[in-house]
Amino acid sequence: MAKHRCAPARRHGRMAALALSAGIGVTTLAGTSLLAAPAAQAAAQDLVQVDALTRQNDAQIILDEINRYRASLGLRSLKYSATLSQVVQKESDRQVVEEKFSHSTSFLTDPRVGPYTNANEVIALEYHRDVRALVAWWKSSAAHDKALKDPRHEVIGIGLSYADGRLENTGQPWQVLSTVNLYGYANGGAPADASARVGGTPAYSNETSGPTTPIPGPSGYGVAGAIGAKYHALGGASVLGAPVTAEIGGLRGGGVYQEFSLNGRKSTLYWSPATGAHRLENATTIGQKFVAAGRENGYGYPTTEERRLPDGSSYQVYSRDGAVTKVLWTRAYGARAVKETGAIGRAWKAAGFERGYGYPVTDEITSGTTVYQRFSNGYKVIWSSTTGQVTVTGW
C-alpha cells in the first residue's frame, strides 16, 4: 500500500516526534519552537472526546510499553501520576486546538509537579489510533529513546488527545497525540498519587475514573470480544455511538458484525478470522459503495478503517479470499474501486498508485474481450482476456 506524505516532517505514517529535556539549572530544546499559534487559528472542534475507559486503556498501554522497554534494560518501572497527567493533558489538547506540534514550559513550571530533580517531555502523534506506535517512534529516535531510558526517572504523566482526522485549518489527518512527561524526585518528593497502574483522578472533571461499560443502546446491547476492543480503540460511544444490534454471526468465512449509531449516523464493525475487526462507515460514499457491491459477499471484509488523505480524498481496503480491493473517493470522481490483486490494479500499483496514473475515474469496464479502467492523470489501463497482456494508453 502506498505511504502518503503530507509534510517533510512526517515519517512512516506519523509526524516526527519532539523532545524537551530539563534538569536543575539546564534546559535544552530539540527540533521545535515555543511560540504558540495565533488565537485565530484555534480549532477546538478538532478535539474528539472519548469515554474514560478508552483513555485509561490507552494510557495503560503507553505505560506498559515504556516499562516493558525499561525492564529489558534492567531499569526500574515508572509509576503513573494522575496529577502529572492533568498537567500534561492541557498541553496535549493545546497542540490539537492550535494545530501546532510544539512544546511549552508548563511541565517545568506548574506547581503541581513538585520539586523535581530532572524532567523530560516527549511528544508524538499518529494518523491512526495506534498508541503503541507512539512509543515505537520514541524508541526509534535517539533523543526520545534517551528520555525513556533515563535511570533517574521514576514518575510519569500521560496526556492523550484525540482528533477527528481532518484538522479544521490545516487539514492534517491527526488522530491521536500524546505528550508524556517523565520526572525524577529526591528524598520521596514524588506526587502522593504515584501508582503502578493508570487510575485515580481522571484527565477531565466530567469523566469518571476506573473502568466503565459502554453506554447501552435502546435495546440494552453491549459490546465484547474483538469487536468490543475495536469499539473502544476507535473512541467508543463518543465516536461510534451506542450499539443498536447484538453481535451477528453466520457470515462468509466465519465473520461477524455489529451496528452502532451516533446521532443517526450508522457504523458497522466487521470481524473475520482473516482480517480482524474494522469499521465500515455506512453513511460515507465509500461505505455506500461497499453496501451496493454486496457487503462482505462483494469486496469482502475491511482490512483498514476508512482513511482520510491530506489532499481531501479517502480510501478503504477490503479482502475476500485473497483478492484485495481498494475503494478510493475523490470530490471530482466519487468512490471508485481498484482491484489491487487484478492485472489492472497491479499495473496501477507498480506505477505509483494515485501518484502515478492518478485516482480511478471509473471502475473496471468490460468491453468484449478486454477490461479497462480510466485514471485521473490521463491514463487508460487495458487488460486483454485473450492475451493476458496489459497495455496503457491515454484516454
The dihedrals phi and psi of 116, each to the nearest 5 degrees, come to -75, 155
DSSP state of 353: G
- DSSP letters for 239-281: HH-EE-S--B---GGG-EEEEEEETTEEEEEEEETTTEEEEEE
In a domain, 18, yes or no: no
Nearest residue to 351 via CA among 390, 318, 322: 390
pLDDT tens track for 33-77? 222 223 324 345 678 877 777 788 888 889 989 999 999 999 999
What CATH number corresponds to the domain at position 74? 3.40.33.10
In a domain, 60, yes or no: yes
Other C-beta atoms within 10 Å of 203: how many? 22
Domain coverage including residue 71 = 52-195
In a domain, 267, yes or no: no
In a domain, 58, yes or no: yes
Low-confidence ranges of the chain (pLDDT < 70): 1-45, 199-220
In a domain, 329, yes or no: no
Nearest residue to 19 via CA among 109, 106, 120, 116: 120
Angle between helices 225-233 and 52-72 (to 10 degrees): 90
Counted domains in the chain: 1
What pLDDT does residue 225 have? 87
pTM metric for this prediction: 0.50
C-beta separation of 313 from 328 below 8 A: yes
What pLDDT does residue 48 have? 80
What pLDDT does residue 20 have? 53
In a domain, 80, yes or no: yes
3-class DSSP state of 367: strand
C-beta separation of 155 from 201 below 8 A: no
In a domain, 157, yes or no: yes
pLDDT tens track for 312-324? 899 999 999 999 9
In a domain, 225, yes or no: no
Cell of 233: 480503540
C-beta separation of 255 from 269 below 8 A: no
What pLDDT does residue 322 have? 92
